[in-house]
Structure 1
Amino acid sequence: MTDWSAALIVPDQDFAGAPLLRREFALEAGHGDVASATLHASAHGVFEAFLNGQPVADEVLSPGWSAYEWRLRYRSYDVTALLRPTSVLGFALGNGWWGGRLGWNGGRGYYGSDLGVVAQLEITFADGHVQRVLSDGSWTAGPSAVLANDLYDGQTIDGRRVSDAWLAPGFTGEGWTGVHAGELDLGTLTPYIGPPVRRQAELAPVSTWTAPSGRTLVDFGQNLVGWVRVRVSGPAGTEVTLRHAEVLEHDELGVRPLRSAQATDRFVLSGGDDVFEPTFTFHGFRYAEVDGWPGEPAEGDLTAVVVSSDLERIGQFACSDDLLNQLHSNAVWGTVGNFLDVPTDCPQRDERLGWTGDIAAFTPSAAFLFDVEPFLRDWLRDLAAEQQAADGMVAFVIPDVLKYVTKDDAQATSFPAPDSTAVWSDAAVWVPWALWQAYGDRQVLVDQFDSMAAHVRRVETLTSPTGLWDTGFQFGDWLDPTAPPENPILAKADHGVVATACLFRSATIVAETAALLGRAEDQAHFTEVAARTRAAFAEHYVGADGHITSDAVTVYALAIVFGLVEGEQRRLAGERLVELVDEGGYRILTGFAGTPFVTDALTTTGHLDDAYRLLLQQECPSWLYPVTMGATTIWERWDSMLPDGSINPGQMTSFNHYALGAVVDWMHRTLGGLAPLEPGYAKVLVAPQPGGGITWARTALQTRHGRVAVSWSTEGPDGFSLDVELPEGVSGLVRLPDGTEREIGAGEHHLAGEPATA
């Protein structure tokens, strides 16, 4: 932790929401060579820091978005190599999440109206002397080449104003002013836990053509998140415009799903050779519409830059079915696009919020695909801070900007006054538990236990006298495909059944967490809550014939996977689940609540063939329908695009929304055959269950203990063959499709069994 002496400084003028700030200084003499130099920096807004004309790091959009009221993160940089006898420290600021638009009602600046920077450069000399260069009243501020910037609407850059002169000693720029102290509680400054946002990849266009409107359209071949870097030459003052969207409709850019987000970048040419990169915004897009270009773009003039939190890819999967491989790729790209500092719902429209329900559903999948532990532990700190300020309530979104949106405009959301909500608020419990299972570090449980317990304790106060959680607003099985497009909350699954099942699961997890942490009193309490909830569920929702109230696929899936039914009731629930899936033609009948669990419910009740039929369905609604329609990310709706190529008429339609891709977790464990038998894969379960005509699969994971890999095939002379690789110190239990089991140790193993019959 840094001992802060600096102050937040704010330019005396706004400078179009994109000011530059600078401080020139000389190294103090008489102390020998510089031994080290570290810059600590944060901002209200987003910043790019420079020392002597060089960026101090390759990151963008720092310090990101946190619960600013309680946590303003700062970054620390080793800048020793950049120092000179006379140096210039500079910052370029943009609106970011602090000063830009947030939410769908057009509001902005919910956290504050002024942009500012807090910076502390600590220079240590050979004799131990420390020179500090602090953000204070001696700095100056001036205009940049950025004329407008907003995360939703895009960025405007005037090439005629681009200059690095402000980063050189002796600069005295026209229009530069002073700075003044801004409001900042230095106690809220906290170092990052998660990674910064960085450029991840670059994609060239796969095609460029002229649309019926006469505009130039560019296809980058992949729905991605970031921006387009532009290289262009033309007459000074020429304005080139790029508008971004995820899909085409009627051979033109499909912009309706953006709602009010403009997603448009504008570049004013200098008259020379310009390179523009709009780093104070981001877009969710595959296509760009180009207007005003002098002539036609040439090869290399347009490059899509993929931007994301800097996550390490650790999990791999492939199988003999190309459509499933594309589905898996879509989940990967959906994670990359939406794990941009906070786990957002979507990256393109006027929303991009940290919806808790999405990440509650998807964490097990994300934790296999990438090392998301630091990223989500950072976000969980925000969740706990917001929760503590809201008397234990976990909000719909974290950071909870909706508390300001609805305060300013009661009509800004159609939701009633918020309170704890099943699945969404359960993220307080489900996310840290999934991280514990994936990585085996109980510190996340230590850090989050009070938050986990507070969620369940609040929900206890919301249950009715029957013991059911059947009160208040619920999203329920959000986006059940049988619900009308204009009202996705009208799922078939009863809201009380879903919420009560979720309460049981959360109480059970908190009880198990208390046991792990040696908190006997808490363990006893939450064990009793779980037992009481289970009894209420059985009494009020489960009939003698095993049918569960509302008789929907989701209610059976939750009851089976969460352990609310056992023995004969579980068998009956499994049979009824299969009947409903069959009656639905093996098309999806679940939304956010049921989708992560339906294939597991089928598999564990002995209906593996039915799970595969559901997974491999290509007709809408299904996981593979979007793949057949050319999707390269997971869609928000099962039918975000209709079979005729038109966009779903619903007001809420995203083409990059990872939640419904949670089935990849089942693919890793059941099709791939790789699951943790102990948290963090200290012991591994290798239990592939082939089916659906799939003839081979390969799954690998870089665990905290080393690389684990599983591959199987039904194509060899032995029928079913299996290869397993375990690192030192890790053992495994192999369960072959014929039911035989065997313990294995570290090393490489080849096994064979009876041919799969599924």
Structure 2
Amino acid sequence: MKKITAWVLTAIMLLTSFAGCTKRGSGPDATAGPEDKPDETHGVVSLRVNYETEPNCVDGAPVFSWAVNSAIRGTLQDSYVIKVARSEAELESGTLVWDSGKVSSRENVCVQYGGAPESLLPATRYYWKVAVETNKGETLTSGTESFITALGDNGFDTAQWIAAGGKSGADVERANWIWLLSGDSQGSVPVKTEYFRKTLELGKTVRSAVIAYAADDYGELYVNGENVIATVESDGWEHGVFADITELLHGGKNVLAARVVNKQEGYGALLIKLVIEYTDGTTETVLSDKSWIATDKNPGKAWYTADASETGYKAVNSTLKYGNAPWNSNVTLTDKNASAPLLRRDFEVGGKIRGAFMYASAAGLYQLYVNGVRPDETVLNPGRSEYTERVMYQCFDITHLLKEGGNTLGAMLGRGWYIGAASPYGGVYPAFIGKLVIEYEDGRRETIVTDGEWRVSEQGPVLSDDIFDGETYDARRELTGWSENGFDASDWQPAAVTDAKKLGIGEPVPQLSGSVRVMDRVAAQSVTEIAKNTYIYDFGQNLAGVVSVKLKGEAGTEVTLRHAEMLNDGNKGSDGPKGTLYTANLRSAKATDRYIMKGAPEGETYTPTFTFHGFRYVEISGLGTAPELSDVTALVVYSGLEDTGRLTTSDALLNQLISNTYWGQRGNFLSTPTDCPQRDERMGWSGDAQIFCGTSAYNMNVKTFFDKYITDLNDCQRDNGAYPDVAPATWRQYYTGAGNNAWGDAGVIIPWIMYQRYGDSSYIEKYYSNMKRYGSYLVSTSQNYIRSVSAYGDWLSIGESTEVGVTDTAYCIRVFDILEQMALLLGKDKDAQRFANHAAKYREAWIAKYVRSETKLRNETQTAYLVALAFDILPEEQRQAMADRLNERIVKRGNKLTTGFIGCSLLLPVLCRFGHEDTAFSLLQQEEYPSWKYPVLQGATTIWERWNSYTIADGFGDAAMNSFNHYSYGSVTEWLYDSLAGICCDEASPAFSHFILRPTAGGGITSAAGEYDSIRGLIKSSWEAADNVITKYSCTVPGNTTATLYLRAASADNVTEQGRALAETEGVEIAGFENGVLTLTLGSGDYTFEIG
């Protein structure tokens, strides 16, 4: 059908001949290449290093990419010259670190640095530019961009991990782990809660009293009815707490009361040590032992008070001296009143600086300060990773923040994903590592590293912080100027030196993807007073981040900020009165920030540091008057990813759906692709990620983001080869598994999608052996090439249940098809044949088990047909009939879907592929439940976990699993780009060197306009339609690319380009016409077609 002219074929072959990042020329004199003179009309644009704009932690040999911008149609790059230098001046003068010379090549993506490895120094900024010559005789030049190198092989060398680690003031030596057994054994205590009491009679005056507490798994402690300690919900027995209770004790009767929750079968116990010093110089020690009483029955609401009834309590009957197995001596104690640690180091700068770069990481989180100033808007550094394998480090250019003479580095530490409710790691305590590299203009280099010379204080303002639960900040405890030079830190303690092994973490490695940062700000839209001094602000958009609020009030005023995605409506499922925050779906996550005011006359602003929430609404209480709307702002935080896609249509509801998908990605692409940003989960579910990966790559440049996630998946790969359901790990990993098809398959599918979109095969090469192991694991857990073991299947399907074997086995086929392509890409032909054989056997088994006839399947669900057709399982001669059967069944259901996570992403593409566009658009435009538009009509501003997470008629769904920011169903947006806008990747031409334009009208939509900033340049595709027929189509093909355009038309003669016949139009070649579809091949340029 297609007839492609010689020049287009040549262009496509040259553009697609490079697999992965290939090394290009070095050494020849660049004067033979293009001149380095910018051109204001044409140019080389979108310069990237390692797929990012001006990255600041480049490790090893970088790769360069750029786009060619020319107004001349059919422009292709003939050659390029890359120049790299230490400064912009040296770049212009020709004092170069590397000169590629003139390299004859079409490639403008993933071009590897060709200089000697030692030519790029660590901790150094480099400047670069590129010039190209084109097939049209043009010389196009770029501006200048830069990048900063990482620390190199020496890494942090002399730097040490440091932490607070001062004298604890308490210990648990000689205390006993105690419990009340009721027919069970200490090693198999069931899930339950026990209550403990101890009565003390004090006959002397107390000078001081310090109590230490630990619980397996978690709980709380009261002294004379006052809450003293509460530990977060986790398996946190290693993290004890001590508190000064001097003011709570008095002469006569005193009561200690504790509650301990054993959240999973195993060991459960309480550990207490109280040391009392009297004014007469004597001391008394109270230990947890058999003198305590306990009950495993609920003793009532007032159980913690001194006068509570002790009916039903018994003497504890299980004790184990601290230090013995299984707990051993592993409890660490932190001061209840200790703040997030503050670290500082003064140093001198002895000359004029050429460059200064601070490299930093943490076990937990850190916020960096230089002479009292934050160097950028990044937050939640170092981000989330599989800490047992690696922690990421960041680089900050602080050249402009240093001055000759005295300077100060400061860091505040938080708990993050390392310690607390979100942590599976049993983190010890927050710790910090840093290395400042200063290069002077005279060439000298000096380093400042973390070591015992740093000073630490735990008397700062952040009293508690937790990813799930929020932050408490006491502004009265602010230490003004603590990170500035000249601050009096004489009462600060020396930092404690530790190491990665003691912290239970891997060594720091250069950051793989951009840091989380403040990416947007959303103003409050309205405020409602729902109770005295309690106000709810609506931002009009579900998002992930924190609220920054300007306040005025007296010192000591406590202001509470509670967050929620929805408001109660008084209907089913509400957890409070109408108009109040609906928080049931947060489960155990408290999502609450507290701010204690310092009483500044001019007012004060609070912005949480070490937490984030998923919310649309914030409730602010504790103030006499409501803050002005302009004083309440939501800071939107997620990984610093560049927007690359824009899509709009004539349909307002569809536009809202597109927006919901984008905001769902914003809310969940925070260091790792999570399922939800609000409840006590926020896990990197691999199935959700692979299903949404294609959509996400249209919305944003996600290359390095998924490089990092691919690393997480491989860090978490099991010994048997299974990829995990969740990466990085979480404490809920205990409840999740590995190797579930569509979930574990992400370890193979996502690297392939990244290669298709960005042209980089390095991660395929890096983890190829791991992916092979995964393939072997799939075969070993299949029976005669039928696999039916996964826990999820077509998760959250509606009205139809697809057999797990149908989807499991289908995904095995998908995995082995991809592995075959990967093996061919890497030149591993024997592996490719073996993978092809496995795929063939899985296909044969699938057909034998699940096909009833040439037109029907045995398990006739929508998803069963979809995987059969999308993954090319069926013989080619059967596919159309099966697609027709699928279409028939959808129409009979009133054009309503039944698909879950797996099927939804395949539904519309499969229908369109087999000629059922009308049904695809009917499904897209469906407004009844279940459908994509249904949540939009219920008020959704993000994608929901369920089609009916909330309905105006029936209220809320089951709170146990009811996220209002859950992007998976937003995978339909990939089809909107691919088919509605018509911008589609050509799998034979990675990274859009050649791509497909296939616009599709339907559903009464009269116009659509899509843009995609591909790695090779901006692609545009827009159309106007009447009666579901495109009448006008416009597109932009970037320089150095080609495209194949498919247009429905009566004939080629019925199509013109800006009034010209196609045969007379530059850059356009007619490749064929068949079944009402005109095929055109396009060179680069802007085009507008009229279809008669």
For normalisation by structure 1, the TM-score amounts to: 0.93
Give the aligned partner of residue 334 of structure 1: 664
Give the aligned partner of residue 464 of structure 2: 148
Alignment match of 2:1048 (pick from 737, 748, 754): 737
- CA–CA distance in structure 1, aligned partners of residues 696 and 958 of structure 2: 30
Deviation of 1:634 after TM superposition, in Å, equals 0.3
Alignment match of 2:453 (pick from 93, 113, 138): 138
SS of 1:128's partner is: coil
Deviation of 1:566 after TM superposition, in Å, equals 3.0
Contact 1:33–1:126 under 8 Å retained in 2: yes
Give the aligned partner of residue 715 of structure 2: 385
Number of residues of Structure 1 aligned to a counterpart in Structure 2: 725
The structure carrying a bigger strand percent of its residues is: 2
Which 10-residue stretch deviates more, 328-337 or 16-25?
Answer: 16-25
Alignment match of 1:168 (pick from 484, 509, 529): 484
- CA–CA distance in structure 2, aligned partners of residues 422 and 686 of structure 1: 32
Deviation of 1:78 after TM superposition, in Å, equals 1.6
Deviation of 1:196 after TM superposition, in Å, equals 0.5
**1:345 matches 2:678:** no
Give the aligned partner of residue 748 of structure 1: 1086
Give the aligned partner of residue 563 of structure 2: 244
Give the aligned partner of residue 410 of structure 1: none
Deviation of 1:448 after TM superposition, in Å, equals 3.4
SS of 1:444's partner is: helix
Alignment match of 2:381 (pick from 55, 62, 66): 62
Deviation of 1:200 after TM superposition, in Å, equals 0.9
Contact 1:249–1:645 under 8 Å retained in 2: no
Give the aligned partner of residue 991 of structure 2: 680
Alignment match of 1:8 (pick from 155, 161, 167): 161
Structure 1 residue runs of 5 or longer lacking an equivalent are 103-107, 407-412, 483-490
Give the aligned partner of residue 955 of structure 2: 646
Deviation of 1:641 after TM superposition, in Å, equals 0.6
Deviation of 1:753 after TM superposition, in Å, equals 3.0
- CA offsets, 1:330-359, max 9 Å, x none? 000000110000000000000001010101
Give the aligned partner of residue 511 of structure 2: 192
SS of 1:55's partner is: coil
Alignment of 1:442-521 (within 5 A): 442-464=761-783, 466-470=784-788, 472-482=789-799, 492-521=801-830
- CA–CA distance in structure 1, aligned partners of residues 1030 and 609 of structure 2: 54
Deviation of 1:481 after TM superposition, in Å, equals 2.5
- CA–CA distance in structure 2, aligned partners of residues 358 and 599 of structure 1: 18
Give the aligned partner of residue 409 of structure 1: none
C-alpha distance 566-605 of structure 1, shift in aligned 2 (>3 A): farther
Alignment of 1:329-728 (within 5 A): 329-387=659-717, 390-402=719-731, 406=734, 413=735, 418-464=737-783, 466-470=784-788, 472-482=789-799, 492-644=801-953, 646-677=955-986, 678-715=989-1026, 720-728=1031-1039
Give the aligned partner of residue 548 of structure 2: 229
Alignment of 1:12-27 (within 5 A): 12-13=165-166, 14=334, 16=338, 18-27=340-349
Contact 1:42–1:118 under 8 Å retained in 2: yes
- CA–CA distance in structure 2, aligned partners of residues 330 and 646 of structure 1: 20
Deviation of 1:133 after TM superposition, in Å, equals 1.1
- CA offsets, 1:277-331, max 9 Å, x none? 0021000000111111231211322111111100100111111111111100000
SS of 1:598's partner is: helix
The structure carrying a bigger helix percent of its residues is: 1
Give the aligned partner of residue 485 of structure 1: none
Deviation of 1:745 after TM superposition, in Å, equals 0.8
SS of 2:748's partner is: helix
SS of 2:955's partner is: coil
**1:89 matches 2:427:** no
Which 10-residue stretch deviates more, 308-317 or 546-555?
Answer: 546-555
Give the aligned partner of residue 100 of structure 2: none
SS of 1:594's partner is: helix
C-alpha distance 549-420 of structure 1, shift in aligned 2 (>3 A): farther
Contact 1:17–1:149 under 8 Å retained in 2: no
Deviation of 1:162 after TM superposition, in Å, equals 2.1
Deviation of 1:650 after TM superposition, in Å, equals 4.8
Which 10-residue stretch deviates more, 228-237 or 76-85?
Answer: 76-85
Deviation of 1:718 after TM superposition, in Å, equals 10
- CA–CA distance in structure 2, aligned partners of residues 212 and 568 of structure 1: 68
Structure 2 residue runs of 5 or longer lacking an equivalent are 1-149, 167-333, 570-578, 1050-1076
Give the aligned partner of residue 429 of structure 2: 114
SS of 2:905's partner is: coil
Give the aligned partner of residue 590 of structure 2: 262
Deviation of 1:18 after TM superposition, in Å, equals 1.1
C-alpha distance 55-719 of structure 1, shift in aligned 2 (>3 A): closer
- CA–CA distance in structure 1, aligned partners of residues 1013 and 832 of structure 2: 33
Deviation of 1:579 after TM superposition, in Å, equals 2.5
Deviation of 1:248 after TM superposition, in Å, equals 1.1
C-alpha distance 473-723 of structure 1, shift in aligned 2 (>3 A): closer
Contact 1:733–1:741 under 8 Å retained in 2: yes
Which 10-residue stretch deviates more, 162-171 or 694-703?
Answer: 162-171
Deviation of 1:743 after TM superposition, in Å, equals 1.1
CA RMSD of superposed structures (Å): 1.9
Counterpart AA for 2:599: G
Bigger Rg, structure 1 or 2: 2
SS of 1:595's partner is: helix
Which 10-residue stretch deviates more, 609-618 or 448-457?
Answer: 448-457
- CA–CA distance in structure 2, aligned partners of residues 150 and 419 of structure 1: 27
- CA offsets, 1:630-669, max 9 Å, x none? 1110001111113426110251000000011100011111
- CA offsets, 1:448-507, max 9 Å, x none? 32333222221111101x21112x34210011123xxxxxxxx60000110000000010
Contact 1:676–1:682 under 8 Å retained in 2: no
- CA offsets, 1:551-578, max 9 Å, x none? 1111111110110113342123212211
C-alpha distance 17-359 of structure 1, shift in aligned 2 (>3 A): farther
- CA–CA distance in structure 2, aligned partners of residues 461 and 205 of structure 1: 55
Contact 2:533–2:623 under 8 Å retained in 1: no
Deviation of 1:214 after TM superposition, in Å, equals 7.4
Give the aligned partner of residue 488 of structure 1: none
- CA–CA distance in structure 2, aligned partners of residues 674 and 54 of structure 1: 44
SS of 2:857's partner is: coil
- CA–CA distance in structure 2, aligned partners of residues 494 and 442 of structure 1: 35
Counterpart AA for 2:786: L
Contact 1:432–1:448 under 8 Å retained in 2: no
Deviation of 1:545 after TM superposition, in Å, equals 4.4
Give the aligned partner of residue 220 of structure 1: 539
C-alpha distance 597-17 of structure 1, shift in aligned 2 (>3 A): farther
Give the aligned partner of residue 306 of structure 1: 636
Give the aligned partner of residue 420 of structure 2: 100
- CA–CA distance in structure 2, aligned partners of residues 221 and 396 of structure 1: 33
- CA–CA distance in structure 2, aligned partners of residues 223 and 450 of structure 1: 41
Deviation of 1:740 after TM superposition, in Å, equals 1.2
- CA–CA distance in structure 2, aligned partners of residues 444 and 468 of structure 1: 29
- CA–CA distance in structure 2, aligned partners of residues 80 and 651 of structure 1: 50
- CA–CA distance in structure 2, aligned partners of residues 586 and 179 of structure 1: 66
